[in-house]
Structure 1
Amino acid sequence: MTSRFTELTVDCHDPERLAAFWCAVLDFKVIDRSAHQVEIGSWEPTVEEVRARQMPPTVQFIRVPEGKDAKNRLHLDVSPIDSSTADEVARLLALGATERDVNQGPGRSWVVMADPEGNEFCVLRTLAPSGR
């Protein structure tokens, strides 16, 4: 018997705002929403597909009353696929992200950022073809 990683849930104050931000970052779409929750993904899961093979998880944003008060213990890493890391950081800043210093030290090959509610994530090396 096994389980599948089907969703990643993010507690937040404004699910619509974070879903819109992450849809723009990841080129996902909203696949479900209710008064207190928005789910986004690159595909619409069915029980049959999930049972057949491991598929990319969806991301759910759930409204909670409490705020974020410490560095995330779990975070997302993203890699640009058609631009340089620097260009992707600039794009994400324009979408509402901020750069963060979480004592990661000098000489790193990634950029630590935070989404509009302060959840940290990293922009890693580009996966774009050489020359970008």
Structure 2
Amino acid sequence: MTSVFRQWTIDAHDIERLARFWSGALDYRIESDGSDGPTCHLLPREDAPAGAPTVWVQHAGDPFVVLRDPEGNEFCILRDPH
């Protein structure tokens, strides 16, 4: 079964900086009024350190690489197994 992300949220200390990073990484446009496509919300986060612990859910054996955004938040790049 294939999953499709329509919306996700990232906690950010510097919203403008992460907006530039993620829009470049995902080839997205920065919009403040929403759109019909997938949406990434950047929420202000003052109460947790950058790079706070993450919960990971994945299938065993999926090939992936762990990277960090400019604030130290971890994310994974997965290869398509097909």
**Do they superpose with TM above 0.5?**
yes
User: Where does residue 64 of structure 2 map in the other structure?
Assistant: 110
Which structure has the larger Rg? 1
Higher relative CO (Cα under 8 Å, sequence separation at least 6) belongs to 2
Identity %: 39
Separation in 2 of the partners of 1:69 and 1:120?
7
User: Where does residue 58 of structure 1 map in the other structure?
Assistant: 39
| 2:36 matches 1:29 | no
RMSD: 3.0
Separation in 2 of the partners of 1:21 and 1:69?
15
Give me the TM-score of the superposition, normalised by structure 1: 0.45
Give me the TM-score of the superposition, normalised by structure 2: 0.67
Aligned residue for 2:30, secondary structure, equals strand
Structure 1, unmatched stretches of 5+, are 34-38, 46-55, 76-107, 128-132
| 2:79 matches 1:125 | yes
Structure 2, unmatched stretches of 5+, are none
1:71 to 53, 61, 79: 53
User: Which structure is higher in helix share?
Assistant: 1
Separation in 2 of the partners of 1:7 and 1:125?
21
Q: How many residue pairs are counted as aligned between the two chains?
A: 73
Separation in 1 of the partners of 2:43 and 2:29?
16
1:71, distance to aligned residue in structure 2 (A): 2.5
